[in-house]
Amino acid sequence: MGLFSGMGDTTSSNTRGAFLQEGNHLLEVQRVKMVQSRKNNGTYFVLEAKVVDSSSEAHHTGQLASWLVKMGGDWPEYALADIKAFVTSAAQVEDDIVDEKFMQDVLSGDGDLLAGKQIRCNVSVIETKRGGEFNKHSFSPVLDN
């Protein structure tokens, strides 16, 4: 094992997005994809976007940002509802349009069907009953793009 073994299996940190922090963000979709985690064998829906504008000092214009949703798990209906909220906002379609076939189209190829679409994302910190916290992402369309 050399010092650089595994280099071919990793992604450059320049292409990885920061997780969105609390605030209001205007994002431009780069692509969406499904990934299989090497750590926990979970499957994740991933949004890769560029920050166009943000109320958070943690983010700057042009920065890459990522949003991950774990598929399945204890609350699979919440994962699907969150993804549907993102997709309806980005594609600017009605809720009943987004079904399994629509998602297959969104994820097909390079996952760039929604590339260039702008969306608003509000991230708020929610406290759990057990005293933990998680970031809740709420998406809304940008109607003038």
Mean pLDDT along residues 86-98: 96
pLDDT of residue 10: 59
Residues in the chain: 145
Examine residue 15 and state whether it is found in any structural domain, yes or no. no
Summarize pLDDT for 19-66 with one digit per residue, the tens: 999 999 999 999 999 999 888 889 999 999 999 999 999 999 999 999
Asked whether 17 and 48 are in contact (CB, 8 A), the reply is yes
Indicate the residue type of 131: G
Mean pLDDT along residues 113-124: 96
Residues 108 and 102: their CA atoms lie apart, in Å, by 10
Burial-class residue 46 by CB neighbours within 10 Å (0-12, 13-18, 19+): middle
CA-nearest of 52, 54, 30, 51 to 116 is: 30
Mean pLDDT along residues 109-113: 89
Tally of structural domains, the chain? 1
Residues 29 and 46: their CA atoms lie apart, in Å, by 11
Helices (H), the chain: 76-91, 100-107
Write down the pTM of the prediction. 0.84
Examine residue 45 and state whether it is found in any structural domain, yes or no. yes
Q: Tell me the residue range of the domain where 36 lies.
A: 20-141
Examine residue 90 and state whether it is found in any structural domain, yes or no. yes
DSSP letters for 54-83: ESSTT--TT-EEEEEEE-SSS-HHHHHHHH
Examine residue 3 and state whether it is found in any structural domain, yes or no. no
Return left, alpha or beta for 101; rule: phi > 0 is left, psi -120 to 50 is alpha, else beta.
alpha
